[in-house]
A and B are shown apart, each in its own frame.
Chain A
Amino acid sequence: MSSADIRVDELLQNPQLWRAKGINASAPSLPTGFDVLDERLPGGGWPTRGLIEILLDSPGSSELNVLMPLLRQLCGVENNWHAWIAPPYEIYPPALHACGISIERMLVVRTSQALWAMEQSLRSGACRIVIGWTNRARLQGLRRLQLAAEQSRSLGILFRHSRWRKESSPAVLRLLLEPIPAGLRVSIVKSRGGRGGQVVLQMVSNG
């Protein structure tokens, strides 16, 4: 065995290193409800656990519409709890209900400590999905979120401003959303084992 081989082996032991081959093939996923997006994502849909980061300029850019099919799967028929941490406006329950999402098991948290509340909600494992808004997150905080979501098998979705797109993030999936007259442009900033790229979604209005 040559010394070069050993170095590669050692490298592979490093937990910070992941190989595209090992991850995407059998990872369970949930369809996004948008075929063009499914094609781009590893496993053909949203990951079922871990942290997803969604970057956008301002709230109201169809970002909730993108999530509705996912929420309907997780919190419609199955009646799981879903938590909303520090949303920028009021989530309007009748509209959520009209989308087929159970609002009886909805938890809303109004706080300036969004990161802490989100971590607690993810760590408890009581909510299938935790959706949070914050612009104060630092790398270490994000790492804690990702770890909490992995361990409790729940899904965390973090909305941040698009100015953070150049920063590194431990999230499993990072998307950048930009509304354009033709629909919604979704750029895949990071996806473990995915191809990346850009798609335009035709938003079917929830109204």
Chain B
Amino acid sequence: MAKKTLDLFPTETARFVPAAAVNAEKLYPHAPLLNSVPIATADARIKPVHRRLWLALNFPLLPFAPDIAMSATPAVTVETAGNTKIVLAANIAAQRLEIVRGMRLNSAYALANHLKVFNRDPHEERRALERLAAWSLQYTSYVSVEAPDALLLEVKGSLRLFSGARALRQRMFSQLNEMKIVATTAIAPTSLAAVWLARSAGPYPNIPNLTLLSRYLEKLPLSCLRWPEDICNTLQDLGIRTVGECLRLPRDGFARRMGISLLQELDRAAGRVAQPRSRYVPREIYKARCDFEMEVENTLTLRNLLDPILDDLESFLRSRTAGIQALKIVLRHRELGDTRLILRFVTPIRRKRHVESVLSERLERLNLPAPALSVRVRSGPLQELHSQTLNEKLFGIAGEQAPEGIPRLIEKLRARLGEDAVYGVCQTEDHRPEQAYRKTNLRTTVRGSQPHSLQPTAFKSRPLWLLSQPEALMSNQGAPFLNGPLTLERGPERIQGGWWDSADMNRDYYVMRDRRGVRLWIFCERGKWFLHGKFG
């Protein structure tokens, strides 16, 4: 590790931490340390993070269709930045003419006479990258998409399986060649460094540990970092061209001039700050089809015939570490239209028995209009499983109450009674009795978030039972009457307002007691009496 600092940022030998930096550190414990030691210096407070090994695949020609990428005519994809068009990617023929990324289109025209120019299509690039991500899942279960043109594969566990990094690379590249896809690659212990090194297009770097990584970063040109142009220019003016030179700058000075986020990037690349990466879950769905040998007339037979499909579905989901929230079952009849069943699940599920419990409720209620000839099953999009679902698999039922119980119960009740029959409630900020709460579909509460609730003291004299519609009462000489005269206990409490949502009210509420001692919530509006609740 380099001990010498550049003269451009003279540093004191004693450690000096500016007061502002100390405060910032207290306020933001994850912010990078700001002191005047060189960035590359190991600090006891920054623990090295080295648990994974990343293989980065960089696709420089991703913006091109495969035939254009390999064609003999030079072609470029351009991106419009303000008034100028900048070259985003150049195909192999254009690269031979020394057209490179970041060049202005006018300069590119100067180098090539017959240049084909394409505008960038970010959506197509994204689709192409996702296709490649799905393809790369054969090498590891942990693939992360680094938009716009790179993939990161966590290969620590895969290296042994594929007998080493060299063999793994050979295998990958023979497949990529068949698909006519150009890629560069690197293996490094941090994901960011792996991407940078893959972009450098040097010889295939295979860096197993952090000590070796710092040697590779030393020579890496700054252009691989894709930092903003003005930053690159500033650094270039200071005579800094490689990452190694950058790492010898003092931390505080670097953060002040180049921004704290770039300092964080350097820390992440050097493996001193962890960088969690989201996992790519393929956007595929489960599809199955079964043509029955005989016409199926009853739902019991149907259920038996669906059984192998459900088995298949479970193993499909298991191999993808994913779950589904919806499943569509379409039954085809000879002459009538299809019968459709859509099963919905409150949380993503994987296990067959969960599907079965909802399915059997639906089939029980199903009347087949005609014999079924075939069935098609199609899942909703695959989703990441919640950790609870995985825990349940590990520990069976956790504690006395299964955390999975509530979603499964809601699904089961809804399958038989209908979506709207099962609901939750939450309070709303309104003083009018009917508007003070509303029904919820329970999705948010099931996931464990706590909705906002009012102070418990806000509604002191409210009845536990509310009539869904206020019930008109008879009156006797202006006093309300219900199975006999009522005695006043408390009131009136005036509740009015609501001009803003056309539920305007102007009511005087009273608590009254009937002959048997039942306490009632009664209001008077425009001289008429209504029963609105019972104190239960």
Residues on A close to B: CB < 8 A? 58-65, 80-81, 88-100, 103-111, 113, 116-117, 120-121, 124-128, 153, 179-184, 205-207
Contacts and interface: CB of A to CB of B under 8 A. Distances in A.
A58 to B, nearest CB: 8
A61 B511 CA distance: 15
Interface string B418-461: 00111111110000010011010010010000110110111111
B436 A94 contact: yes
A108 B437 CA distance: 13
Given A90-B468, A127-B409, A63 B402 contact: no
Nearest to A80: B401
Interface stretch (B172-180, B299-307, B371-379, B514-522): B514-522
B437 A94 contact: yes
Contact of A59 (B405, B454, B468, B534): B534
Contact of B413 (A63, A89, A117): A117
Contacts of A59: 465, 534, 536
A64 B517 contact: no
A11 B451 CA distance: 55
B312 to A, nearest CB: 27
A124 to B, nearest CB: 4
A94 B427 CA distance: 7
A94 B457 CA distance: 10
Contact of A93 (B427, B445, B467, B490): B427
B425 A207 contact: no
B24 interface: no
B501 interface: no
A126 B416 contact: no
A180 B401 contact: no
B536 A64 contact: yes
Contacts of A89: 465-468, 533-534
B465 A94 contact: no
B464 A120 contact: no
Contacts of B427: 93-94, 97, 103
Given A62-B536, A124-B409, A95 B464 contact: yes
Contacts of B422: 107-110
Contacts of B516: 61, 179-181
A111 B518 contact: no
21 contacts: A61-B518, A62-B536, A65-B464, A88-B465, A90-B467, A91-B425, A92-B433, A95-B463, A97-B427, A103-B426, A104-B445, A104-B453, A108-B424, A111-B413, A117-B417, A120-B412, A125-B401, A180-B516, A184-B517, A207-B460, A207-B511
A120 B409 contact: yes
A60 B401 contact: no
Q: Which 7 A-B pairs have the closest CB atoms?
A: A126-B405, A60-B534, A207-B461, A64-B536, A92-B466, A95-B462, A94-B459
